[in-house]
Each structure stands twice: as structure tokens, then as C-alpha cells.
Structure 1
Amino acid sequence: MLNIADTLRAWCSEARPFALATVVGVRGSAPLPPGTALAVDADGNATGSISGGCVEGAVYDLCREILASGGALQRARFGYSDSDAFAVGLPCGGELDVLVQRVDPTAEPHLTRALAAVEDGRPTAVAQIVDGPAALVGRTLSLVGYDGAPDGSLVGTGEGKAVTAQARAMMHAGRTGRIEVGGDADTCPERLSALVQVSAPPPRMLIFGAVDFAAALSRAGTFLGHRVTVCDARPVFATPARFPHADEVVVDWPHRYLDRTEVDTRTAVCFLTHDAKFDIPLLRRALNLPVGYVGAMGSRRTHDQRLARLRDVGVSQAQLARLHSPIGLDLGARTPEETAISITAEIIAHAHRGTGLPLSHGTGPIHRAAPVLSAARS
């Protein structure tokens, strides 16, 4: 529904009921991803699209039917028809699973707040139960802001707590998708599936130092869903050809680029060179920003010298405690690729309050509650 947030916000503000058809599953080739929605109000006005046109008429009719009857949820599946390529179906060969439901804004006021947040550009997640017990399917929960409290009809339930934890993690990653929760004593007894729709940019990874380790780390960061920037003051090394997996390659002094770019509490700052004229100005600034992770490469001797220089320029002990140096977890990594795994493993562990220890050495639930994040600077 977040793809049509502007129109739905207007309908909600007018307390206008509408039917909402949401793509909750895709198999094979399909034109639009899960989370894409089409909505129809009582006057027959439609907004959005779920297939680029090939099944819109059938879905529109389902929406009108539910609005007219006040009926319950309906599920519909649309796929390719071998016998008639012009029949209702997807000629691209895929299959869509669509959930159609009536939405009364007065019964779900949190949706109005969530849709307003999307329009205002604030990070937002809306989770909708799409499979599970009949009493839960269709119910929703929303989060506004990385540290926002959950809101909606699922709040206060065991299922709501489990969905909230995973929805917050999805928002932290900037991803929309299906989640599976429940079915065990650690979460909730009922097994269910929810579609989490997220309106948030992907987390950033800022890599300073155009070295071989940066090439491997940019590839690992992209794989994890980060928006990766590689920055170096040396134009001969900072080239897109050397870092094809990075979203952008910047030629600038690291501290100057950090001063002018946007960061937030999910941003990972990774410094991979050993040059004091670069790392001290950069780390001094980075440790004073509300970023999620600051790491610096180097030996333990380099680390001790770096700490002394940072103290000399006024960096406090509390700020120094935020510095992950030497960067990465102790995996015995030697190659650039192994080192990239070591660094990204530490970033993941820090973001989710993990210990970095083997799971076989621990007890209790494997997954922790998602961390509460503070406000970001931009």
C-alpha cells in the first residue's frame, strides 16, 4: 500500500472506506513485487496497480464486490493461461497471489499516521498478516521511525511482539518482504506469515580508502543490501572500474566528504587505510556523529598509536569506546574477501547486539529483540 500512500492518506483523512488489493506473493516472472497495491473506494475511484495492467480489471471487480457486500477477505491467484493468452492472467509467465480486503480507516487509525509518515519522508514499516489463523489474517501493525513504538490491531498480542521484532529489522535494512513468525514457545504458538512493507532508504556503508580490502568489502556490503560509497582523495585509485560493486565512488578527502554527506543510526563507517593525515580527521568527526558503526583497520600497534593521536586532538574516552579497532571479528581472516566477511560480521553483530560467539556455545533464543535506535543526523 505504500506505493499509493498519497491517495490512501487522503481517503483515510476523510474516513472513506476502501478495498485494498495487495500482492502478497509472486512466483516466476511478474511485473510488480510483493507489497504493490491497488485500492478502490465506494465511488469506484481506483488508484495503484498490481500487474501493470493484465489483471487489473478482475482485481477491480473483486474490490467493488467486497465494498458492496461488506464481505470478508478474499484471496485470488492469477497466472498464465496456456489456452488463451488474452484471458485474465499474466502473459509474462508468472503468478500473483493477491489479498483483497475492506479497510475502514476509523477502525485502523494507525494506518493514517503511517501513511502520513511515508509522505513526510520518515522511515515507516507496515506489517500485514497474510497467512495464518483466520482471526489474524488481514490485521496490521505499523512502525514509524527506527525507534518508534508499534501501533495497530496486533499490538499487545504474542503475535504482535514477534512481528514487531522482525518488522523493525526489515525497516532497519530498508527492505520489503514476507516474514514467517511463530510456531514455537519463544515467539508465539500460532504459525503465521506477514508481509512487511517498508518505506526507508537502505542503510549506508561508507568505505574510506580505495584499497583491495575496500573492493571486497564493497561487494559484501552490496550483497547485504547496503548503499555502498567508496571514498579516497587519490583519483588514480578511486575509480568506478576498480569498485564495480559500489553505488558511488568519490574522490575527496575522507573527512570533507563525511562533513557533507547524509548519515543516520544505521550507517557503517569503515576506514581501511593506515595514514594519520586521513584517519585522524575522519575518525574525530565520525566518532562524534550518531552513526551505527565506526571501524578502522590496522594492527594493534597502529591502533594504540591511533588512540593516542585521537586523544591529543580532544576525542573523549566515551567516543573512543565506540571505535571498532582493529576492525572486524576474530575469524582468522587473511585475504581481502575473508576480511570483508570479518568486518560485515562485526557490523551485523553490533547492529543486532550479537555476541559474535558460535551459536553452539550459547543457550536460549537465537534471535534477539531488534535494537531501539536513536534519531539520525542528516
Structure 2
Amino acid sequence: MKSIAAIAREAHRDFTIETVDIDQPRPGEVLVRIAGVGLCHTDLVARDQFIPIPLPAILGHEGAGIVEAVGDGVTKVRAGDAVILGFASCGRCPRCEEDLPSYCREFPALNYSGARGDGTTGVMLDGEQVSANFFGQSSFAGHALTHERNVVRIDADDVPLELLGPLGCGFQTGAGGVMRSLACPAGSSIAIFGGGPVGLAAVMGAVIRNCATIILVEPFAKRRDLAASLGATHVIDPAAGDVAAAIRAISPDGVEFAFETSGRESVVETALGVLTSHGLLGLVGVPPRPESSLSVNLASLITFGHRIHGIVEGDSDLDTFIPELVALYRSGRFPFDRLIETFPLDRINDAVAAQLRGDCVKAVLIP
């Protein structure tokens, strides 16, 4: 069948909107008509080849929509079901069997290669195969060919399906990072570095966990104001002075948890430096370069028992955590829609620019 898609043809260049041909689903696959798809920083670093998916490629990994067809053997969903699309995992390795599929042994191959295991993609552009299967979905398109393990069926009668896609990555990474990976207990203190979609989802997650002190460090004033309205107890402008000193002025002994979303080495080092004894730092930010590294004082790390935890997808198990987030949204406790601005898919380049300028927190593209 024919569909439209946003194509990444060159690194650091605009996406183009083109017509593609998509196969019918193979055994175990699901064809989804996309209602909306989030624009994530990871899509842009893939376009720009930090993730070396072959170009041209269809990216997009925060899709939501309606199942149009299923391949043989699919029992989880059927045509007409509303679904949120998440990341791909094998379902067989030790981490998958521990309900930690974001640490799947095959995660890089399944999510970043741009093809199925046999090298095909199921999508043709101008008569040639184009990279797809990004995070097992490639949902910057009118339709996405995905896999049974990627999809989570939901009741969308009373929720805006077109806005739910970011629950499959960015929002579950931020909320899950605090609620699951760090598992911040009630009354604890946390400093969150970066007020983008992941950082603000982390703020909401900290509120849900009843953290007593929730500090957001963010350069954009509008995002600081939004964080305060979502429940952050303190906000800090990093341009105003010494961030570590500002955090210590709020929590003199340091914070029990820090959550870093920028990936910048200097920010990570600041986050590590504001931890209290036995404090835990969670890292989710994509670093600026593959070779990015940290300078860590080992004596200090050992003396104070500081811990560093790399986090993928908020330790989410899609089939349990995404429905939990939808239920929290329904109850008014996870108002992620306040972060979203919608754009037509054919304005994807405007959406990219708006996010980079800080004009919107989370762009969602509507095919």
C-alpha cells in the first residue's frame, strides 16, 4: 500500500515528505495507521548519524494509532484496536525474561539497524528499499509496520489517541526514570537537569512519588515556569550562577537523587557533585559525541558511596508501565498533554526548529 512519510536523506538536512510503498504485515507484524507521532531528540541524532542508521531512512519512534492489519500468529491486537507503539525487544534474553526489555541483549540491532533481521525493511521509496524499522516502527509516516511486542493496546475512548505516542519513549523515560529506575521514595530530594520532555516528565514522576524537594535546572524561563506549575518545588536558571551552590543552598547536604537529561559532560559532573552520601545519579541524556566521557574522582565516589545508573526507556515494561501512565493521565496526575504542541507531519521541519528554539516542549506530528 502507499503512504506518506518524512524521509531523512542527509545528516543535518531537512526532512522531505514523500510517498512510500509499505508491505502488508508478515507473521508477527502489525500494520498501524498513525494518528500522531512524537518528535524526539533521538530521531534527530539518528538523522545526524550519531546512531548510524543507513540513509535515506524513515525515523520516528513515538507513534500511536489504529491497527489496520495483522500478520499470521498475532494474538495481542486485531484490526480496529487503538495502540501505542514502543521500542523493540527480543522477548527471549535474560533481561527480557526479567521484565526489563529496554536492556534487551539485542536492543541495538532491533532498534537502530534500520531493517528486519533478514535485512529487509518492508518499505520502498522510488522503487528502492529505504531504511525503516527504527525502534521497530518508523512512525514518521501515515502508516507504520511494527511488531507484536512493540504495541500496547489501550482503550482510547476518553483519551486523545493522537497525543499518546510520546508515552512510548520520551515521557516513559522521564517518568519511569524517577518512578522505576531510581524508585525515589516519598519525602526524598531530587535535582532534575533539563526541562525538556524527559525532564518535565521526570518532574511529574517525582510528584507522583511524593518527593519532598524537586529541583529543576533549566535555561528556558517558560519551561521553568511550567515545571513549577507541574509541582517542582524549586527551579534554577543555570545562567544565573553556580548551579551546585544554588542546589546546596536548597539542600545543604546535597540531594538523594539526581536525574540528568542533557548528556553534556559538564552537567553530568555537576549532577554527580550535588549528591548527598549514598546518592544516586540517573543518566538518560544522549551525549554530544560517541566518545564523550567523564572525569570521576574515585576517592570521592568510594568515600561517599555515590552511585551512577545508566537508564534506558525508564526501565519500562511496555505492557505494564504504559497503561499505568495512561491511568495516571486519566486521573489528572500525569498531565503530559500540557507539554505538547501539534504540527502536521508535512511541517516536521518547523516542529524541529520550534523545539530547538524552546518555543514548544514536545512536538507531536499528525499525518
Relative to the length of structure 2, the TM-score reads 0.29
Greater length-normalized contact order (CA 8 Å, ≥ 6 residues apart): 2
Relative to the length of structure 1, the TM-score reads 0.29
Larger-gyration structure (1/2): 1
